[in-house]
Amino acid sequence: SAVISQKPSRDICQRGTSLTIQCQVDSQVTMMFWYRQQPGQSLTLIATANQGSEATYESGFVIDKFPISRPNLTFSTLTVSNMSPEDSSIYLCSVEVGTYEQYFGPGTRLTVT
């Protein structure tokens, strides 16, 4: 298993600003994932972050809007840039442990006004 923490747990931001979300894991992992979960919707994968390489973004998500850092095997950040109300969502990081089991952080609830 893995214990994952995220900061901040929630934030209210003004449109046009940026927010950086931190994800910390209690063990070294190869792959970290960033998801978005809008109210009543399923989890949508934003990108996969491997240490030492550029993040891989899913269709509909671009690096300029969601830059990701992965400086080591236990930490990653996701920045939501130039925010608009449509970015209001819960952002979750996760890691894969064992065979295909994903462990999630508690999420960051973002509200953009």
Q: Contact between 102 and another protein (CB under 8 A)?
A: yes
59-66: which pairs have CB atoms within 8 A and are 24 or more residues apart?
A: 66/34
Binding pattern for the stretch 39-78 against another protein, x by CB under 8 A and - elsewhere: -xxxx-x--x------------------------------
In a 13 Å sphere around the CA of 83, the CA atoms on its Cβ side amount to: 20
DSSP state of 41: S
State the nearest-atom distance from the C-beta of 36 to another protein, in Å: 11
Distance (Å, rounded) from C-alpha 70 to C-alpha 104? 17
Contact region for another protein (CB under 8 A) — 13-21, 62-70, 80-88, 98-106? 98-106
Binding site for another protein (CB under 8 A): 4, 31, 33, 40-43, 45, 48, 92, 94, 99-107, 109
